[in-house]
């Protein structure tokens, strides 16, 4: 059974079922190296863990949807590749990351949390200045009017 895993899931995974095969973008392995790739994962690369790059079209589609929900600013390029790969292969992805799960759901992908419960709703985000209250669609870092920090805020949710 093929699954796409994000870095945290692969890092935290203790063991996989026998018929479990994993596909990841290169970025996941790079991040794992930086975190200290353990021997267990190293031995599985090329055997049960396969590295593949998602196509440009899937990456663009993921970005478009993530912009729509406002998750884009909380997704790393590797996170986007992870979702794009699951999209391209039509396989479930395993992640505990909220924004990955949210974006996966809106794309119609199955996202299985490792530890947390499943996401039941799709949330849309906006950013609100903690100083003057001005609202932004994107996380600009700080308010262009008063320079204060922007806080993410859910403004809409859908039951799915
Ligand atoms: Zn402000």
Give the pLDDT confidence of 47-60 residue by residue, as tens digits. Answer: 889 999 999 999 99
Rounded Cα distance between 105 and 110, Å, is 7
Rounded Cα distance between 50 and 25, Å, is 8
Position 119 scores a pLDDT of: 40
Which tens digit of pLDDT belongs to each residue from 3-22?
Answer: 999 988 887 776 677 778 89
Cα 68 to its chain centre, rounded Å, is 15
- Across the beta sheet with 21-24, the strand order is 49-51, 21-24, 2-5, 93-94, 111-112
CA of 156 to the centre of ligand 1 (A): 22
CA of 140 to the centre of ligand 1 (A): 11
CATH number of 121-159: 2.20.28
Which tens digit of pLDDT belongs to each residue from 90-124?
Answer: 999 988 888 999 999 999 999 988 764 444 456 67
Rounded Cα distance between 143 and 159, Å, is 31
DSSP 8-class letter at 85: H
Rounded Cα distance between 112 and 141, Å, is 31
Parse the chain into domains and list their residue ranges: 2-112, 121-159
Contact 96, 112 (CB under 8 A): no
CA of 124 to the centre of ligand 1 (A): 21
CA of 59 to the centre of ligand 1 (A): 33
Task: Copy the structure tokens of residue 69.
Answer: 């929900």
**Chosen CATH of 2-112 out of 3.40.140.10, 3.40.50.300, 3.40.50.1820, 3.40.50.1010:** 3.40.50.1010
CA of 128 to the centre of ligand 1 (A): 8
CA of 133 to the centre of ligand 1 (A): 6
Rounded Cα distance between 137 and 91, Å, is 31
């Amino acid at each position: 059974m093929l699954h796409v895993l994000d870095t945290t899931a692969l890092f935290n995974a203790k063991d996989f079922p026998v018929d479990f095969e994993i596909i990841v973008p290169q970025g996941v392995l790079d991040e794992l190296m930086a975190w200290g790739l353990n021997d267990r994962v190293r031995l599985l690369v090329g055997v049960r863990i396969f590295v593949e790059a998602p196509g440009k079209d899937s990456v663009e589609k993921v970005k478009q949807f993530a912009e729509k929900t406002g998750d884009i600013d909380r997704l790393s390029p590797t996170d986007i590749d992870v979702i794009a790969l699951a999209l391209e292969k039509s396989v479930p992805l395993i992640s505990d990351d909220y924004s990955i799960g949210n974006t996966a759901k809106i794309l119609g992908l199955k996202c299985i949390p490792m530890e947390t419960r499943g996401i039941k709703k799709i949330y849309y985000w906006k950013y609100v200045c903690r100083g003057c209250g001005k609202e932004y669609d994107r996380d600009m870092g700080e308010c262009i009017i008063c320079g204060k920090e922007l806080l993410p805020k859910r403004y809409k949710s859908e039951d799915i």
